[in-house]
Amino acid sequence: MTHINNMDHWKLFVDFSGLATTIDSGRQIRPTDIDAFLDYGGRASIFYEFKHERGSLSRGQELALERLCQQSTVPAMAIYAQHSVDVEDEDPRVQAHDLKVSAYYSRGSWRLAPFGVTVRQLQDKFINWIEK
């Protein structure tokens, strides 16, 4: 079961290119999106980014996730995971909870995830740490 409120709209592409702006040295920047966010009752924040295995986390998204965690007033973590689902697949849904974590950001640095740890396992471990 999914929790997408409007399945007719979930495949829409949002084009941020018209929001590009120039900063300091003339470098152009544009908004980024984050795939998911969990507010754990005001006690912790978890940000999620999922990419196809042929893709990678851009430096801009990496910085955005770092800064969101650093500026959080509660403990925060960013989880980055990759998948192999293609749009042409019979069922093109990405099951986020089962994805293997590539890396995560917590307490000021990126770390490689332990081999085979899933998004759900890392999320639960972080929440258990918060609850102690």
17 CB-near residues (< 8 Å, 6+ apart): 30
2 CB-near residues (< 8 Å, 6+ apart): 93
Q: pLDDT digit string (tens) for 80-94?
A: 999 887 777 677 677
User: How much is the pLDDT for 16?
Assistant: 84
Q: pLDDT digit string (tens) for 111-125?
A: 999 899 999 999 999
**What's the pTM value of the predicted model, to 2 decimals?**
0.86
Q: Which helix (H) or strand (E) holds 102?
A: strand 101-106
State the DSSP code for 5: S
- The DSSP line for 23-92 is ETTTEEE-----SEEEE-TTS-EEEEEEEETT----HHHHHHHHHHHHH-SS-EEEEEEEE---TTSSS-
Q: Is 50 exposed, middle or buried (0-12, 13-18, 19+ CB in 10 A)?
A: buried
